[in-house]
Amino acid sequence: MNAQNKFEIKNVNKVVIPFKLINNLIFIPININGAELTFMLDSGVTENTIFSLEDKEIKLSAMEKMRFSGLGGNRSIEGFKSDLNTGKIGKNFVNDSLMVYIIQDEEFNISSHIGIPVNGFIGYHFFKDYPIIIDYSSKKITVFKDRALFEKKIKKFDDFTISIEKSKPYILADVEMTSERKASKMLIDIGNSDAIWLFPALIKDFVYNRPNIEDFLGRGFNGDIYGKRSRIHQLHLGNFKFEKPLTAMPDEFSIQHLNLAKDRKGSVGGEIMRRFTVAFDYPNGKLYLRKNKNYDDPFHFNMSGLDFKQDGLQWDKDYLTFRTQNEKSASGEIQTFNSNLQYKFVLKPIFSLAGVRKDSPADKAGLKKDDLLITINGKKTSDMTLNKIMEMMKSDEGKTINMTINRKGLELKFSFTLEDPIPYQE
């Protein structure tokens, strides 16, 4: 009777959940069996999944061995299923029969590429029973028990029909590679930081737009995902139009383990969805969108060719202060004494290069995988976040980037100019 795996709103008409937004991805707090965790909210996954606990401890019940498969080229990986746990998001959004899947593979851990500890994913079971509104501007999610209140909030939104297939939401969008608009069934995937993914192997007579580049696209259950990146002419969602959006196209090897919905052509990701206030209504098969302040942002690309990761924390001497005191000598002179010399030590992040794209500006300058970052444009990277570093690499084409790195104990300096390798060409 308890095995429903259902979140319920208790004692209130709505629940407001603050979130962190990093690289277009949403991270929310969740308590499982008393352990405070951080999960990525992902409409592209079905089950609640734990892949890392960092230094946290958690007791899980009813463990059963499982195998997982998904994006990435390698074979499936082992893990466990645990049933009848207690999950709480805030005080009033509670699941007393939470089912979670546990991935054992230590390599499947996105924390170093996000810059904060991330413990898992939550997907379909967050969305399936109540309408919700995601406000990307205020970084708050509202889950509504009061249907009338939800409908009042979405009066000025554009509405779309979506289908929920295999526990995931799909929408018809018009994809215009060059000049011809083609209606395409797309997964709404807020757990994908890119704007658009297209699957060339599933699209008849697909021709890659030029220029395009071979690139690392991300990580899946089964390994790294590779393919091409380019730009298309336009993407249309109803009356909303996006010019020259960046598009990732995974190779056939990377999608071979996916159990795809019928006629799916690709995904609409977080780089599109963050431009709206988004309302999901799974029970009624609806999506509602309203433009926010980010709507007209250009589609910037990481023009450096560098993939960054955070390699933990280290103690750093942040600053020092001198405390002084004045005293009168016997002759009446004022004498100053340093009474205390104080150093402040703080934990600061260490960043390194997880990869360097071939023929990119950084590659041509001589940067290599595993180089440790010390400064970028004269500023210490230990005072930055991973998100801040990524934003610098997406800034203005033609901008000069100066880096100081540590390579096997040697301090080296490099300089390169940001260059968009995939400008859209008519």
CA–centroid distance for 133 within its chain = 19
Written as one string, the DSSP assignment of 267-282 is EE-HHHHTTEEEEEEG
pLDDT over 90 (residue 122): yes
Distances in Å between the Cα of 248 and the Cα atoms of 3, 196, 206, 260, 271 are 39, 6, 14, 17, 12
Distances in Å between the Cα of 32 and the Cα atoms of 9, 59, 94, 390 are 16, 9, 10, 32
pLDDT over 80 (residue 226): yes
pLDDT over 60 (residue 140): yes
Taking the CA atoms of residue 302, residue 136, residue 186 and residue 226 in that order, the dihedral angle to the nearest 10 degrees is 30
pTM: 0.87
Residue with tokens 């002084």: 324
What pLDDT is stored for residue 137 in this prediction? Answer: 96
Where helices occur in 268-413 by DSSP H, the ranges are 270-273, 361-365, 386-393
54-65 pLDDT tens trace: 777 888 877 788
Distance CA 348, CA 266 (A): 39
The helix (H) or strand (E) run that includes residue 124 is helix 124-127
More confident of the two residues 253 and 183: 183
Please give the domain boundaries of the chain with CATH numbers for all domains.
8-144 (2.40.70.10), 154-291 (2.40.70.10), 306-417 (2.30.42.10)
Tell me the sheet residues that pair with 277. 135, 290
Residue with tokens 């951080």: 38
399-419 pLDDT tens trace: 999 999 999 999 999 999 999
